[in-house]
Amino acid sequence: MTTNIRRGNIPNAPSGVGPYLDEVYTLKGFFGDWAMIYRSQNVGHPSEWSNPDLMNLGTDTNLLKPTDLTDPAGAPMPLLKGEGVQISLSRRSKVSPFLEKNSDNHQIRFYHRGEFELQTELGPLDVKAGDFVVIPIGMMFREVPKTSDNAIVIFETRAPIRPAEELWDSVGLTFTATDYTLMEVPTPKPGTKEEIAVRTEVRVKLRDEYEKLVFDFNPLKDVVGWLGDPVIYKFNVWNVPGMGSSHGFLPPPSGAVLIGDDRSFFFTVQMPRPFPNVPAPDGSYGAPAHRNDYDEFWFNHRSQNAEETEGHMWRLPPTVVHPGLKRPPEYPQNPVERIQECKLNFDTRARLSWTKEATQAFFQDPHTAVYTSLYGAHIGILPEQALRHVKK
């Protein structure tokens, strides 16, 4: 639908900052019709809620202990579940006595802390903090830890995972802000006869249950070559640029790195945005309040201004406004330095719900924590500074 309607008092441009709180409402995630609403009160702060799935809530993954933290045969801890989507935490510290195969879903495995040799059917990959690896459904793998303090956030999706550049290709644009030629694919490294001839168990996730297959050889060591598409690949978050405009904020899909082939989800890496050069009231720095019909997941990977928030995880439901944080634009100080801030964002059509295990580390005061934990470092400023910019 053509955007051609204005009603009431429009105090500033949608990209700007003014005397009122602004809230953008969108349909189809961020891909459908939209409306920018200017209001005097913050509807991101209900005083009561009857169900945790209604509210912006977060958990501190540093306090959670999946069974694979201490048991080599342990498993990741599911934290959020929805139709065709699951988000889990692994803290594997020792190599497992089996290979793994997910026969239910495709995976994005994000390495928040630690270093591993990721053995796959197509060859090994060395992975470290900041890397994420796409592993398609049914492919066998094993993570061999090189460190003991590890954390992996695992995104499972029923929809196949595609590079987001295909979204731009579909409308005839060449979009090279994210350089996908930096992705790394595995190269086979065949084992010796002795390494191949090892009885090997494979733990298979099938219909959300763990089953097993047993081979008289190691299926990760006998592959000598492969050709075709990059079905397994690695990318690093620090190769993804922050997206912005001369006026300020752009919505998350502009920085999408991976998408579902049916657009049922998109996976973005959120880096600090470029500083806008249009002054207030038409320009601003930071995001407006927002709500739409998708579930939003956020994960703090790196925060130089609030290191205590690293590992914090948030689910922002479509039922309540996600509080925004805008301030007038300003130029960065010289010399320019890279701000060490990085968040993961996963938006999905699926309706997510917290697991009982995740609630053990919930933040007790979500109204304050949504700013000090999530938004406090979202735009690269200290949490206490962020609170001063918030209108309650």
| pLDDT tens by residue, 112-160 | 999 999 999 999 999 999 999 999 999 999 999 999 999 999 999 999 9
What mean pLDDT do residues 189-194 have? 95
Residue keyed to tokens 């590890």: 150
What mean pLDDT do residues 352-357 have? 96
**CA torsion through residues 58, 62, 65, 71, sign:** positive
Cis omega (within 30 of 0) for bond into 274: no
Q: Are 287 and 272 in contact (CB under 8 A)?
A: no
Q: What is the pLDDT of residues 245-290, one digit of tens each?
A: 898 888 877 778 999 988 899 999 988 888 888 998 999 888 888 8
- Asked whether residue 377 carries a pLDDT value surpassing 50, the answer given is no
- Asked whether residue 380 carries a pLDDT value surpassing 70, the answer given is no
Q: State the Cα–Cα distance between residues 279 and 228, nearest whole angstrom.
A: 50
Can you list the alpha helix ranges (DSSP code H) found in the chain? 165-169, 193-196, 356-359, 366-369, 383-388
- Asked whether residue 379 carries a pLDDT value surpassing 60, the answer given is no
Question: What is the DSSP code (8-state) at residue 121?
Answer: T
What mean pLDDT do residues 50-56 have? 90
Residue 271's pLDDT is what?
Answer: 87
Give the predicted TM-score (pTM) of the model.
0.91
